[in-house]
Amino acid sequence: MIRTHTCGELRAGDVGSEVVVCGWVDSVRDHGGVLFVDVRDHTGVTQTVAHPDEQPEGFAAAEAVRGEWVVAVRGRVRMRPEGTQNPDLPTGAVEVPIDAVEVLSVAEPLPIPLDERTETDEILRLRHRPLDLRKERLQRNLRTRARVSAAVRAALEAEGFVEVETPTLIRSTPEGARDYLVPSRQTPGSVYALPQSPQLFKQLLMVGGIDRYYQIARCWRDEDLRADRQPEFTQLDLEASFAEPEDVYAWIEAAMRAAFEAAGRSGELPETIPRLTWHDAMDLYGSDKPDLRAGPPIVDLAGVFAGTAFKAFAATLDAGGTVRGWRFRGGGDLTRNRLDGLIERAQHLGAKGLVWMVVEADASLRAPVAKFLSDAELAGIGAALDAEPGDLLLLAADTAQTASAVLGQLRLDLDRPAGHAPVEAGGAGVSPLWVVDFPLFEDDGAGGLTPLHHPFTSPHRDDVHLLDTDPAAVRSHAYDFVINGVEMGSGSVRIHDAAVQARMFEILGMEEAEVRSRFGFLLDAFRHGVPPHAGFAVGWDRLLMILCDERSIREVIAFPKTQTGADPLTGAPAAVGDDVLADVGLQMTPEARAVAAAEAGTEAGDSGA
RNA sequence: GGUCCUGUAGAACAGUCUGGAGUGUUCGCCGCCCUGUCAAGGCGGAGGUCGCGGGUUCAAAUCCCGUCAGGACCGCCA
C-alpha cells in the first residue's frame, strides 16, 4: 500500500500518527520560510507543510513541486497552530509536516483550469476529459450514478428480478430509429446492428421463463443529438411475466424512490405519483411530457366564446376549432416588445395568431382585442383562467391540438423552472407523473398508421373491438414516466395473443413475408407458450441528469460525445484503411473518400485542434 | 435537412454594433521577494495565425460571403 490514509480522512484524532498521503498537488503556497502543499484526492484535501529548519529535506524537495504533480507525502500528523485551523475543511484542524515527499509523477501546466469557478468551453473539457474528471462536479456525478445503480439493482433483486445480459451484436430490425451497423468479416456483405433497446430479447426471456428480468443496458440510436440524447445511452430495462400495468407502476415507483434515496434526495417524490391520460396531457399541457412545475394547465374557453361577435374566434369555432387560454401569473409587466415576440413565437409554432391580455389592478382586461369582446366574455375569461391583477393571459384560437401545443410551448418558454435542484436548495424540485393510455397508432403522414410505441404494444383491453372499425382511436396499454418535462422512461403491456399480433401487422400494412423476415424468431418463440408480460425502460442518463441537477446528460457520462457524434478525446469516428474495409467486404465510395480527405485536411490545417 | 447562439494569449472574458498599430482585465505559467497560508500576498516577465478561406476598403478582430468546430432547438428519436 503506497498510502496509509486518503486525503480527506485525517482528523484531530490522528495526531501523532505516522502517515503517508498520496494525491495531486492542489495548490502550493510558498511563503519563503514556510511552504504549504495541499494534496488532493477524490476524498478531499490535506495540508502538508515544511519549514526549512524543521523539515530541511522535505522543504527542499517540496519547493520543486508544481500544481497537479502526483506526490506521496510522509509525516507525523500534528494539530495546526492555534488560530490557523481552517473550519471550512474537514481536515482543517490538522496538517502533515513533510518529513519526506516522493514525486510519483510530474505534470505539465494544464490546458484547462480545474477550479470550479471557471466554466470551461465544453469542447476543451471533452478533449481533456481525464483532467475534467478530476473536478468535483464529475466525481460527484459519477459516484452518484454508481450509488443509484447499486441501490436500484438491490431494489429490483428484492422483488425477484434477475439481471440478464443480452447481445449487442444483433439482427437489424429496421423500425424506429436508424441502426448503428457493424459489418461482418465472416459473412462479408452482412451486418450486425447495435440494439436500439433490448426489446425483443427481453420478450424472449419471458418465453424462457425468466419471469422477471432487468438489466442496465447500453443502447444505440443513430439519430441527431440533443442535450438529453447521446448516440449511445443507458437504459434500466425490465420486463415481467404475468404482470399488469399496476405492477409495473409499483416497481418503477419503488426503483425511483430507491434512486432518489441513493442520490441523497429521499422524500422529494410525492407519496402518490399523479397520473394523466395522454389525451388529458395533450389538452392541458400541449405535451405528452408535461413539466407540472410550469404554471397552471391550459383551459378550454369554447364555452366562454359560444356565439361570440369577435370574428376571428367565431370563424375558428364554426370550423370545429376552439379557443384555449393560459394564465401567466405576474406576467402583466412584460414589455410590448416581449408581447410582440410572443405573437411571433406562436406563429412560428404554427398558430394563426395569439391574443394577449393584461389583468389591470381593477381586474379589467387590457388588450388590443378587448374592444371586440363583450363584458360577459371578458368576465368569463378572467373567471375561467383564475386571473388576478398583474397576470398575463394568452389565448389561442385554432384546432384543439394546435391551440394546446402552442400555449403549451409558450408556457414552457415563459414559466419553466431552470434545473432540477431540490426545493430546500432553492430549486423548483421534482414533479413526476405517469402519462397513461397512449394511442396505439399515430398518423405516418402518408395516409397510413405507424405504432406510437412499438408494434408489440398491446391495445387497451377496452378498445380491442375498435381495431377493425377505427384503429386510429384505439388506446394502448403504453405508459410513460415523466419528471420535470423530461421523458424518463416508457413501457407497455405486450401482445401475447398471436391473432392480435397478426392483426397489428395487418393494420400497419406489413406483408407477412416482411414480418416473418424481421420478427419470425419472436413469433416462432411465441408459438410455444408465451406468458402475458409487460415491461418498462428508464432513460438512465436522463434520470441521473435530474438527480444531479444537470442540464445535459453529458455531465453524468464519463466519456460523452458531441452533437455530431464525435469523441474529441479519441477522435472517433475515424477512417480506416482500405485493407480493413476489404476484410469485411466494404469499399468506400468516391464521395465518402472525398469527405474523409477533406476531414483529414481540416484536422491538419484548422487550428481547431 | 433547417433556425439561432458562440469562436480573441494555456483558461475565462472585454473589445465587434459605430473599421484606424494585437489594446485590455482576471486566472494560470516563469523569475525574484516573503515564516502560518488555505482562491496566500507583493514586484517583474513571457505568452496572440482575433477558428479557417475569400471579398469590400487607403485600412478588417470589427463589415459582407463561404466554410469548419462547439452548443441550444425544430425535423428526426418504434
Q: Is the CB of A87 under 7 A from strand B?
A: no
Confidence of residue A601 (pLDDT cuts 50, 70, 90): low
Residue with more model confidence, A353 or A247: A247
pTM of the model as a whole: 0.94
- What is the full DSSP assignment across A282-310? HHHHSSSS--TTSSPPPEE-TTTTTT-S-
Q: Which of residues 147-176 of A touch strand B (CB under 7 A)?
A: 175-176
Look over chain A and give the mean of its residue pLDDT values, rounded to a whole number: 92
Q: What is the mean pLDDT of residues A321-328?
A: 93
Sorting pLDDT into bands at 50, 70 and 90, what band is A174? low
Residues of A from 455 to 474 whose C-beta is within 7 A of strand B: which are they? 455
Q: Quick one: pLDDT at residue A510? A: 85
540-559 of chain A touching strand B, CB 7 A cut-off:
552, 554
A118 touches strand B (CB under 7 A): yes
Distance A349 CA to B20 C1' (A): 46
Distance A80 CA to B72 C1' (A): 49
Query: How many Cβ atoms are within 10 Å of A543's Cβ, its own excluded?
Result: 28
pLDDT digits (tens, 9 = 90+) for A329-380: 988 888 887 888 888 888 888 888 889 999 999 988 999 899 899 999 999 9
Give yes or no for CB of A49 within 7 Å of strand B. yes
pLDDT score of A604: 40
Nearest residue for B33, CA–C1': A32
pLDDT (0 to 100) of residue A592:
83
Helix (H, G, I), strand (E, B) or coil at A214: strand
Q: Confidence class of residue A448 from pLDDT cuts 50, 70 and 90?
A: confident
A45 and A82 Cβ atoms separated by less than 8 Å:
no
Label residues A34-52 b or e (16+ Cβ within 10 Å = b): ebbbbbbbeebbbbbbbee
Q: Name the closest nucleotide to A221, judged by C1' and CA.
A: B77
Average pLDDT (A150-171) is 97
Query: In strand B, which positions have an atom below 7 A from any protein CB?
Result: 1, 7, 10-13, 27-30, 33-41, 49, 51-52, 68-78
Answer whether residue A606 shows pLDDT above 50: no
Higher-confidence residue of A304 and A599: namely: A304
pLDDT tens figures, A466-520: 988 998 899 999 999 999 999 999 999 999 998 899 889 888 888 888 888 888 8
A115 CB closer than 7 A to any strand B atom: yes
Which whole number is the average pLDDT over A103-115? 94
Task: Output A77 or A598, whichever has higher pLDDT.
Answer: A77
3-state helix, strand, coil in chain A (%, to 5): 35, 25, 45
pLDDT value at A293 more than 70: yes
Q: In whole angstroms, what is the distance from residue A510 CA to residue A515 CA?
A: 6
Q: How high is the pLDDT of residue A175?
A: 67
Average pLDDT of span A168-197: 91
Domains and CATH numbers, chain A: 12-105 (2.40.50.140), 138-276+430-556 (3.30.930.10), 295-415 (3.30.1360.30), 578-608 (no CATH)
Place of cell 430479447: A201
Rounded mean pLDDT, A21-35: 95
Is the ipTM value over 0.85, yes or no? Answer: yes
Among the ranges given (A21-30, A70-79, A166-175, A195-204), the one the predictor scored with the smallest mean pLDDT: A166-175
